[in-house]
């Protein structure tokens, strides 16, 4: 396995080099969004409203952080189960989303959409939320504050450790045996 050190703005150029099982240390701006936020984002798309962040070339992390302690930028920030976002993912990828981060398997439809759109699914490890919080340098709510932990947050990451779960060829870590 290879370890790639990538900044979010360089993702588009780096995606083709990422293969399932590779490690990624991701730095840069990502956005949190879970079930409730995805529902609202889709309502905004349907009504023609401007979204809270630019989808094209963005990275979304399926996370709902805990309250922020005094010594960190954010509380524990582990991944949530990605398959719950499958009904929304294909359309967001078609709109230019380049990276999704979460845990667990993705549907065949999402894997094919990742391939069609030259995007990548990176896996975070469940139970490591406290570790991940130390890799988040800043956090601010940018939309849906009333959703609490499920609000959309802009996070700035530094060397956030991830594993390529589905690469831009549509190959899934969950369906392949690694050599």
Side-chain half-sphere exposure of 126, counting CA atoms within 13 A:
6
Instruction: Quote the CA–CA distance of 33 and 60 in Å, as a whole number.
Output: 7
User: Is residue 38 annotated as a catalytic residue, yes or no?
Assistant: yes
Cα angle for residues 31, 137, 76 (degrees, 5° grid): 75
Residues in a beta bridge with 143: 152
What residues pair up with 163 in beta bridges, in sequence order? Answer: 23, 123
Q: Cα(25)–Cα(158) distance, rounded to whole angstroms?
A: 8
Q: What is the DSSP string of 63-130?
A: B-PPPPPTTSSSS---B-BGGGGHHHHHHHHHTT--EEEEBS---HHHHHHHHHHT-EEEEPPTT-HH
From the candidates 14, 15, 38, 85, which is the catalytic residue?
38
Catalytic residue list: 38
């Amino acid at each position: 396995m290879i370890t790639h050190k990538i900044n979010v703005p360089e993702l588009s150029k780096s995606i083709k080099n990422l293969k399932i099982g590779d490690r990624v240390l991701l730095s840069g701006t990502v956005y949190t969004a879970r079930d409730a936020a995805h529902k609202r984002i889709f309502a905004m798309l349907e009504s023609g409203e401007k979204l809270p962040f630019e989808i094209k070339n963005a990275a979304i992390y399926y996370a709902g952080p805990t309250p922020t302690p005094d010594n960190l930028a954010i509380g524990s920030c582990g991944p949530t189960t990605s398959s719950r976002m499958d009904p929304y993912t294909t359309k967001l990828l078609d709109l230019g989303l380049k990276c999704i981060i979460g845990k667990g398997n993705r549907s065949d439809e999402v894997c094919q959409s990742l391939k069609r759109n030259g995007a990548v699914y990176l896996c975070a490890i469940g139970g490591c939320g406290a570790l991940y919080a130390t890799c988040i340098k800043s956090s601010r709510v940018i939309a849906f504050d009333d959703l609490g932990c499920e609000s959309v947050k802009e996070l700035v990451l530094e060397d956030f450790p991830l594993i390529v779960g589905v690469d831009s060829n549509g190959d899934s870590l969950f369906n392949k045996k690694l050599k």
